[in-house]
Every structure is written in structure tokens, then in C-alpha cells.
Amino acid sequence: MIRHCPTLASGLALFGLINSGVAQRPLKMHQGPPPTEENTLPPIVKKALVASRKLSYIGTRVVEFRREGVPSKHEETITRQGSHVRIDFPDGGPQSGQVIVENSHERRHFFPDKNEIQILPPRREEALERLARQMGRGKRHFVLSMAPGQMIAGIRTEQVVVADEKGNVTQRLYIDSVSGLILKRQLFDQVGTAMGGFEFTRVDLSPHIEPSLFTISHKGALLVTPEELMRRAAKKSGFLPIALPSSSGFHLEGTMTRKIEGVDVLMETYGSKEGRRLTLFQLASSVSPFRLREFAKRQELEFVYWQGQGKSFVLMGGIDANSLLQIAGPISGGTAVVGR
């Protein structure tokens, strides 16, 4: 409608400018200093943000998300002391013997069967920080509502429900009101289908933690980087070993080969320090940019597209198309186009 009604479009744009600058609706509590990202959040969420950076605990949680389109569930034990993290896995499970340790600079993941340590960028519990940033920017309007939550891991929680401007619930967080630890989290899509989440089954908030726990040392273990893993995956499957330049501000976090709708795809996932995510798809066949545009638009995603050396490339993410073009420029030879 907006495309075909300039007057309405102008009116709406003006309304949007006024609205975004004035209030972080519906949290109308700005008296005093100008709103920063954290000032706009309810106390329990602020507490959870602080806890995500500083808390010490040992806890076991069950995590569920979709992997290759199929729901996947696993259990992990997290030992955390501020920015130091260690992840262990149950004996006898698929990840038995693997260990992940992380500090503010680096993440290392040990695979005993390969005697290999993968060196990766550090991960963070970005969820709340991203939410805080989005609210602070006023780009998206969220409705936060609070209610008493259920008992989780023997701890009474406060429930925070995050809904979009249409009232669709996008997340539920169950937070320990004393420590600020998020004990349970659920994410939902536009039609209310659960997309993933986690739930702690036991937690020790006053643990004794040996500093040596955050060290892994295995003689003779091979150290590999994400770029090496990408080259390995690409070579194995007949794809081109192409990655986004580090100057893009996005670091390669992982590479997978998959069959999507019968088509072989190399999928590289990237993250930035601000928590933005991009995916670079490399396909052995063409895709229709027109059709891709229709689907991407529904999810508020942008993409750029190019072809070369017998492959198609799609770089997709939630950032603006011009930025995507700039990022793709060096590896597309300037041939990338915005999806239309």
C-alpha cells in the first residue's frame, strides 16, 4: 500500500520519526537522564544482563533447537565464573568426552575422537544484550510483561514475556529474581511455533570453582581454526573455499554442508561483536532472487546474490542491503546484487 500512496507513506514516516524519538513505548518511564539501552529495561531484565556478565554458577541445562530442520536436544553442564566458561557433556552421550572452555578472547572446543581442538571466537549470552540494543535504538517496539514464573531447578522464577508490536509472543524468560540467572528460555516464531529454548535442571549458585577447570591441555592435539574447517568442508564437498573478509566485522563461526530441498549447499555462519548474524550459502544450482525476495521479506531479512565459477552465492542476514553489498564486494568481484 505504501508504495502506491505517497501521501500516506510520508505521513507514516513522519509519525514513525516522532514516535521513535520520544518514547520507548510501551515502557513510558523516561524522566531524568536520556534513555540508554539498559535504562529502558525492567529491573529483573537489567539484573539478568548483569548476571550474564558476572555471575558464577555450575548448572546443568537441556537445550533444544532445530538443527538441519529437525529438532535437536542435548544436555550440557556449564561452569561459569564471570567471563570464564567451561562446558561438559554427559558420559555416554553423543558429545561424551568433549570439553569447551572460553574466556573473553577465545573459545576452545576439544574433540577426543579426533584429538583436535577447534579455536573459535568467544560466544556470549547475547540474547538479552541484543534485546536491550534493539529497544535502545527504538527500531523495534517490544512489549515486555512480567508475571510470577514457575519453579525451575528448585528456584522460584519471575517470568518475562517479550511480544512484538502485534502482540505475538516472541520469547519467554524465566529468571531467578535473586541471582538474575535465566533458568529457562523459549523462543517462538510469528505463528507461535516454539523454535527452541533451554531449561536448567539443576543449579549451584555458590559453587567452589577451581581455576584450572578453565584450562584444557591435550598433548599432540591438533589446533584448527574455523577457516581451516571451512576449507576442509569445501574441499570435501566440491565447493569453493570462500569466506567473508575479516574487515567486514563478521567472524566465521562455523561451516556445514547440507542438502536443502535436494540441493547441495555449503553454509557458513558468521557473527559480529554486536551479535548480528549472517549466513553465506554456496549452492550448486541457481536460485530465483525474485522468489527469495518474497520469503526473505517476510522474515525482515536482506540478501545479496551472485554467481561465479559454477556456483551461486547468497549472503543473507538482518542488516541493510548496502552493508551486505559492501561485505560481499571483495569476494564477489563486485558482481553481487541486492535481492529484488
By CB under 8 A, the residues from 23 to 52 that bind other proteins are: none
**Which of residues 75 and 204 has its CB atom nearest to other proteins in the complex?**
75
Where residue 39 falls (left for φ over 0; alpha for ψ -120 to 50; beta otherwise) is alpha
**Which of residues 47 and 80 has its CB atom nearest to other proteins in the complex?**
80
Site string for other proteins, 284-303 (x = CB under 8 A): xxxxxxxxx-xxx-xx-x--
Q: How far is residue 340's CA from residue 262's CA, in Å, rounded to a whole number?
A: 24
**Which of residues 35 and 64 has its CB atom nearest to other proteins in the complex?**
64
Taking the complex as a whole, the smallest distance from the CB of residue 276 to other proteins amounts, in Å, to: 9
Q: Which stretch binds other proteins (CB under 8 A): 14-22, 74-82, 147-155, 242-250?
A: 74-82
The amino acid occupying position 93 is: G
Handedness of CA 282, 288, 289, 292 (dihedral sign): negative
Long-range pairs for 235-240 at CB < 8 Å and ≥24 separation? Answer: 237/264, 237/266, 238/264, 238/284, 239/266, 239/282, 239/284, 239/311, 240/282, 240/309, 240/311
Residue 133's contacts (CB-CB under 8 Å, 6 or more residues apart) are 37, 274, 275
C-alpha cell at 132: 536491550
Is residue 160 within 8 A of residue 144, CB to CB? The reply is: yes
C-alpha cell at 38: 539498559
Taking the complex as a whole, the smallest distance from the CB of residue 36 to other proteins amounts, in Å, to: 23
Residue 64 binds other proteins (CB under 8 A) = yes
Residue 9 binds other proteins (CB under 8 A) = no
Residue 146 binds other proteins (CB under 8 A) = no
By CB under 8 A, the residues from 181 to 210 that bind other proteins are: 185, 187, 189-198
By CB under 8 A, the residues from 105 to 144 that bind other proteins are: 106, 108-109, 111, 113-118, 123-127, 130
The amino acid occupying position 49 is: L
| Residue closest to 119 by CA, chosen among 224, 222, 213 | 224
Taking the complex as a whole, the smallest distance from the CB of residue 332 to other proteins amounts, in Å, to: 13
Residue 309 binds other proteins (CB under 8 A) = yes
Residue 95 binds other proteins (CB under 8 A) = yes
Residue 215 binds other proteins (CB under 8 A) = yes
Is residue 164 within 8 A of residue 189, CB to CB? The reply is: no
| Residue closest to 175 by CA, chosen among 141, 199, 143 | 199
The residue from 160, 316, 324, 331 that contacts other proteins (CB under 8 A) is 316
By CB under 8 A, the residues from 228 to 287 that bind other proteins are: 228-229, 231-233, 253-256, 258, 260-263, 265, 267, 269, 271, 277, 279, 281, 283-287
Number of residues that bind other proteins (CB under 8 A): 116
**Which of residues 66 and 137 has its CB atom nearest to other proteins in the complex?**
66
Is residue 271 within 8 A of residue 277, CB to CB? The reply is: yes
**Which of residues 23 and 119 has its CB atom nearest to other proteins in the complex?**
119
The residue from 24, 45, 81, 102 that contacts other proteins (CB under 8 A) is 102
Q: Using alpha carbons only, give the angle 148, 151, 156 rounded to the nearest 5 degrees.
A: 60
**Which of residues 49 and 224 has its CB atom nearest to other proteins in the complex?**
224
